[in-house]
């Protein structure tokens, strides 16, 4: 391993430590770390910029704008409200309503964090009418929304696919999504069963939602805008899935057509784009492209091959990813960092798909950790007197899932060979 390669690995570790310790953006740190690597390797900066993920940038921005129209027009709130009204007081089904809505939106391409930020307060509002359903309904929403983010139409799924493409391997993207949704449904079912068992034994762990806020005065939603935003979403899905058009460009086209037709506040729409996540992801992937250009990723793959690509390595990568997702708030950033290593080690083996599932699915489940946006939103929408106890419960739940799920999923590729 050359000096430049060794320094690039050391700086990558330093970037991760600083991001966790000082709560700094990984992408900004990674771009700053590129300077000494460029100096030592002698490569021109142009080489680094060729790795900038322009397709992922357009995907995140375009899909975020498309779903911002759906939200701003009132169509999304209208739909969610009517789904919960249909279910009524059938309390056992309330968590699954949020599960289906959150999972469907993320599967269709909505950035998972945006889905969670929209649905968590809405579910809290619904829980005021149906006491005793707040926590389970919130957990179902955030688990489904984040796990469905492994869809090929979602930015998270696109990042994983891009990492695989760079090392020349492929895996069934919709298959990974199906495993993720299956595991998410199993986790929600187990949590719901445990909650029901505790209640039968006279133990109530339920958390009360925060009191309702005073409604803000808003202009009446335009029916035409609501209908067109829904039609645009359906057209987007048909074009991407059936006609195989580019996800980001298609979403951007649909968003701009609505902008021209209805002229909503452009600044408010642009504020819905997760610029912090875009900077994180683009900076990190640009740096990873640089260290791949100088041969660092190949050197890491060779070291891993000398260590063996057996059961121990699968377990190490799976548990390391779950651990990092518990201490770093960006699931997307952690997967962007770890999946190239996993693909380098197992990219040309028969167990690639299940190794990918063992790495990615548990990472998506860590979303209820209180240091994540989702965990913070749940606590913020709960009653003040419950928040300290809820913080400890969510932390314990994320830790328990991090101990159990990676090992269970890793057993499949281990048993397969």
Q: Per residue in 123-145, pLDDT tens?
A: 888 887 777 788 899 999 999 99
- Compute CA 156 distance to the chain's CA centroid, rounded to the nearest angstrom: 6
CA-based radius of gyration for the chain: 22
The predicted pLDDT at position 216 comes to: 47
Residue ranges in the chain whose pLDDT is less than 50 = 215-217
Looking up tokens 């993320």 gives: 106
List CB contacts of 231: < 8 A, sequence separation 6 or more. none
335 within 8 A of 360, measured Cβ to Cβ: yes
- Compute CA 391 distance to the chain's CA centroid, rounded to the nearest angstrom: 21
The predicted pLDDT at position 217 comes to: 47
Q: What is the DSSP secondary structure assignment for residue 382, as one 8-state letter?
A: B
Helices (H) and strands (E) in the chain, counts: 20, 0
**CA-wise closest residue to 366 among 134, 99, 147, 119:** 147
List CB contacts of 44: < 8 A, sequence separation 6 or more. 38
Q: What is the DSSP secondary structure assignment for residue 222, as one 8-state letter?
A: P
The predicted pLDDT at position 332 comes to: 84
Please return the burial class of 77, using the count of CB atoms within 10 Å of its CB with bins 0-12, 13-18 and 19+.
middle
**3-state class (DSSP) for residue 209:** strand
């Amino acid at each position: 391993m050359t000096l430049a390669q060794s320094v690039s690995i050391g700086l990558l570790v330093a970037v991760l430590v600083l991001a966790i310790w000082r709560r700094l953006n990984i992408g900004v740190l990674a771009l700053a770390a590129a300077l000494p690597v460029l100096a030592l390797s002698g490569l021109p900066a142009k080489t680094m910029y060729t790795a900038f993920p322009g397709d992922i940038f357009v995907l995140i921005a375009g899909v975020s704008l498309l779903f911002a129209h759906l939200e701003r027009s009132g169509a999304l709130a209208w739909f969610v409200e009517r789904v919960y009204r249909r279910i009524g007081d059938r309390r056992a089904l309330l968590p699954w309503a949020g599960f289906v809505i959150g999972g469907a939106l993320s599967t269709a391409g909505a950035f998972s964090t945006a889905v969670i930020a929209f649905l968590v307060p809405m579910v809290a509002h619904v829980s005021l009418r149906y006491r005793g359903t707040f926590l389970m309904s919130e957990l179902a929403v955030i688990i489904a929304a984040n796990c469905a983010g492994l869809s090929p139409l979602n930015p998270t799924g696109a990042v994983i696919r891009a990492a695989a493409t760079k090392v020349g391997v492929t895996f069934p993207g919709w298959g990974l999504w199906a495993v993720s949704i299956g595991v998410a449904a199993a986790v929600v079912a187990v949590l719901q069963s445990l909650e029901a068992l505790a209640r039968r034994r006279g133990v109530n762990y339920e958390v009360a939602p925060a009191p309702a806020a005073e409604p803000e005065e808003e202009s009446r939603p335009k029916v035409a805008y609501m209908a067109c935003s829904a039609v645009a979403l359906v057209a987007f899905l048909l074009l991407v899935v059936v006609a195989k058009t580019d996800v980001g460009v298609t979403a951007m086209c649909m968003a701009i057509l609505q902008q021209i037709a209805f002229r909503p506040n452009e600044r408010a729409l642009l504020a819905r784009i997760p610029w912090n996540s875009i900077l994180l992801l683009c900076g990190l992937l640009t740096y990873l492209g640089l260290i791949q250009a100088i041969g660092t990723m190949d050197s890491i793959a060779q070291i891993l091959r000398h260590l063996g690509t057996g059961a121990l390595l699968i377990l190490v990568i799976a548990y390391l990813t779950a651990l990092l997702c518990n201490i770093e708030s960006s699931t997307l950033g952690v997967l962007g960092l770890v999946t190239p290593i996993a693909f380098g080690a197992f990219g040309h083996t028969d167990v690639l798909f299940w190794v990918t599932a063992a790495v990615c699915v548990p990472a998506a489940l860590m979303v209820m950790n209180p240091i994540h946006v989702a965990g913070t939103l749940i606590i913020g929408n709960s009653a003040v007197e419950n928040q300290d106890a809820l913080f400890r419960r969510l932390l314990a739940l994320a830790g328990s899932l991090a101990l159990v799920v990676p090992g269970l999923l890793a057993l499949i590729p281990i048993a397969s060979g």
